[in-house]
């Protein structure tokens, strides 16, 4: 049997592209909705454990199932030991042949390389944005004006950190951290 596995990283992502490509060539499809970096992938684990000798594990793209070249190659060895092959549908790679095995190995390495390059480009882009004064990440829950007001009320003894945090709907630690950031920033300007 050809058993298809497809994964989307979030519940908001649509698996239609993978379903459309795998449905015509698979006997069964199994969909997982979570990050490839998740420590446990229950659908994947169930599918792998249910495969029988002679079955083919079918994926559309290598990164839909594996996090690294090591993951991909180790799983290929485990499955081959059980008499199971892997097929990467979008590249027409089938590990039941020697040629398919070598292409699978090369693709595994290239996929890991591309992930590393993407990570580096993302880090470089974020650093370039920071150098230009762009704020990275979520906006602060409490504005600078609110922090200055809270800091003044604390200094005047008008309210405790817990009271002010509750007033602004944040954890006391968040308020303390933001006051510290504002003080550090103010110190740099003087």
**Pick the catalytic residue: 9, 35, 96, 160?**
9
What's the mean per-residue pLDDT of the chain?
90
Summarised one tens digit per residue, pLDDT across range 164-189 is 999 999 999 989 988 888 887 665 44
Confidence (pTM): 0.67
Q: Check whether 90 has a pLDDT greater than 60.
A: yes
Phi and psi at residue 72, to the nearest 5°: -65, -45
Whether residue 35 lies in the annotated active site: no
Summarised one tens digit per residue, pLDDT across range 27-68 is 999 999 988 778 899 999 999 999 999 999 999 998 888 888
3-state DSSP of the chain: CEEEEEEECCCCCCCHHHHHHHHHHCCEEEEEECCCCCCCCHHHHHHHHHCCCCCEEEECCHHHCCCCHHHHHHHHHHHHHCCCEEEEHHHCEECCCHHHHHHHHHHHHHHHHHHHHHHHHHHHHHHHHHHCCCCCCCCCCCCHHHHHHHHHHHHCCCCCHHHHHHHHCCCHHHHHHHHHHHHHHHHHHC
């Amino acid at each position: 049997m050809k058993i298809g596995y497809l994964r989307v990283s979030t519940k908001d992502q649509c698996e239609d592209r993978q379903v459309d490509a795998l449905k015509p060539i698979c006997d069964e499809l199994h969909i997982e909705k979570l990050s490839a970096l998740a420590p446990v992938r229950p659908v994947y684990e169930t599918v792998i454990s249910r495969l029988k000798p002679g079955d083919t594990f079918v994926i559309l793209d290598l990164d839909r199932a594996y996090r690294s070249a090591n993951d991909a190659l180790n799983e290929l060895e485990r499955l081959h030991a059980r008499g199971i092959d892997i097929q990467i549908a979008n590249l027409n790679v089938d590990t039941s042949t020697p040629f398919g095995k070598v292409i699978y190995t090369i693709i595994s390495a290239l996929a890991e390389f591309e992930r590393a390059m993407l990570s580096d480009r993302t880090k470089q882009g974020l650093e370039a944005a920071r150098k230009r004064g762009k704020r990275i990440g979520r906006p602060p829950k409490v504005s600078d004006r609110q922090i200055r007001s809270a800091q003044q009320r604390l200094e005047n003894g008008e309210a405790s950190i817990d009271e002010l945090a509750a007033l602004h709907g944040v954890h006391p630690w968040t308020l303390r951290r933001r006051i510290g950031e504002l003080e550090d920033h103010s110190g740099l300007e003087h």
